[in-house]
């Protein structure tokens, strides 16, 4: 029985880290590309048909979305670290009681997004934002990942009403 528990968490962590790693790779790839090919403030519209609504732009911030808490990079480094550590520590407890596929997806997206922005904050001192959609603040893939992960996790926690497994 112990082997089954170990295997469940081993594969669960592998799944969680695969999702998080994919998010980090895609997020960092887009940010590196933008920093290498666009100057700060420069925009590029790769899709002419929707260029009035969606553009790639090189911006950055040291706070959070909409410029809130600008200049508090250290605070967000600490918050990101706490989020990443908490996800890694609480993962076994959550998957013990819920659907491992959806819990892993939600937490993996949040972990990847938090880690992606944490890398920027630690390595270059700010977060690079990339995408501008009309009527939205500029954002990056890490931001989208955190939001999608929170939605998935919320839906699982609300609608998956399983009873905790007995040991």
* Interval 27-50: pLDDT, tens: 999 999 999 999 998 888 877 877
* Interval 67-124: pLDDT, tens: 677 878 888 999 999 999 999 998 888 877 677 889 999 999 999 999 999 999 999 9
Which structure tokens are listed for 79?
Answer: 């918050």
> Helix 100-124 vs helix 2-37: angle between axes, to the nearest 10 degrees?
40
Concerning whether 143 is annotated as a catalytic residue, the answer is yes
Residues 43, 110, 153: CA angle, nearest 5 degrees: 125
What are residue 96's DSSP bridge partners? none
Give the C-alpha distances (Å, rounded to integers) separating 109 from 35, 38, 54, 134, 161: 23, 27, 23, 24, 22
Of 27, 36, 52, 129, which one is the catalytic site residue?
Answer: 129
Count of Cβ atoms closer than 10 Å to residue 154 Cβ: 11
Sign of the alpha-carbon dihedral angle for 110, 112, 117, 123: positive
64-95 burial, b at 16+ Cβ within 10 Å, e below that, comes to beeeeeeeebeebeebbeebbeebeeebeebb
* pTM of the shown model: 0.88
Report the percentage of the chain scoring pLDDT > 90: 55
Torsion (CA) 122, 126, 131, 137 in degrees, nearest 10? 130
Of 27, 52, 143, 160, which one is the catalytic site residue?
Answer: 143
C-alpha 9/C-alpha 12 separation (Å) is: 5
């Amino acid at each position: 029985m112990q082997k089954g528990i170990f295997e469940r968490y081993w594969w669960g962590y592998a799944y969680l880290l695969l999702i998080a790693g994919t998010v980090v790779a895609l997020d960092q790839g887009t940010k590196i590309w933008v920093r290498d090919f666009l100057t700060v403030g420069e925009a590029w519209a790769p899709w002419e048909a929707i260029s009035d609504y969606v553009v790639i732009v090189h911006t950055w911030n040291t706070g959070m979305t909409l410029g809130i808490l600008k200049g508090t990079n250290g605070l967000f480094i600490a918050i990101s670290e706490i989020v990443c550590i908490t996800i890694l520590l609480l993962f076994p407890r959550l998957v013990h009681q819920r659907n491992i596929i959806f819990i892993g997806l939600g937490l993996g997206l949040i972990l990847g997004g938090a880690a992606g922005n944490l890398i920027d904050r630690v390595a270059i001192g700010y977060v690079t934002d990339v995408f501008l959609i009309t009527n939205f603040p500029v954002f990056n893939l890490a931001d989208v990942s955190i939001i999608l992960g929170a939605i998935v996790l919320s839906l699982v926690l609300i609608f998956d009403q399983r009873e905790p497994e007995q040991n």
